[in-house]
């Protein structure tokens, strides 16, 4: 089993959003007042809720990849039944914004958005590979996933 089989387009997704993340984190350190949301405990509570939802879903999806991909399986259950790319989606839309809310910075939303956009650019290569590897299973999976556009 090659590491590339586990990573998919992840290396390109991360590389695509890394400049935004680095700039956002650096700017947040240099000018923290500009990035502060001032949402207080309400924002922190919302961030904890996002992390409580996104963290376990992300870990579940990673676990499924680590177990299913080496066995040559198309993963269609659990988080994969909710969205096509749960690892990217949950980190981009729940985990990173949740961290931003907990830390009282809107940079989390910008970094999450950059990750989401990067995943939408590079994830189609994973989809093409899955369609080649699972010619009958993958189209059926895509047709029944709950939120195929995320």
Task: Tell me the average pLDDT across 39-47.
Answer: 87
| Of residues 124, 102, 84, 92, the one with CA closest to residue 21 | 92
**Main-chain dihedrals φ then ψ at residue 146, nearest 5 degrees:** -65, -50
Please give the Cα distance from 102 to 59 (Å, whole number): 20
- What pTM value is reported for the model? 0.88
**pLDDT, tens only, 53-91:** 999 999 999 999 999 999 999 999 999 999 999 999 999
Sorted by where each begins, the domain ranges of the chain are: 43-150
């Amino acid at each position: 089993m090659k590491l590339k089989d586990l990573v998919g387009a992840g290396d390109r997704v991360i590389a695509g959003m890394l400049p935004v993340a680095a700039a956002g984190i650096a700017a947040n350190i240099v000018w923290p007042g500009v990035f502060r949301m001032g949402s207080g405990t309400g924002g922190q509570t919302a961030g904890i809720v996002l992390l409580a939802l996104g963290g376990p879903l992300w870990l579940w999806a990673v676990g499924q990849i680590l177990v299913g991909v080496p066995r040559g399986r198309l993963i269609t259950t659990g988080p994969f039944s909710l969205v096509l790319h749960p690892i990217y989606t949950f980190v981009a839309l729940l985990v990173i914004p949740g961290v931003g809310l907990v830390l009282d910075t809107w940079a989390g939303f910008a970094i999450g958005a950059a990750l989401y956009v990067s995943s939408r650019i590079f994830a189609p290569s994973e989809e093409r590979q899955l369609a080649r590897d699972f010619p009958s299973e993958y189209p059926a999976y895509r047709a029944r996933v709950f939120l195929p556009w995320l």
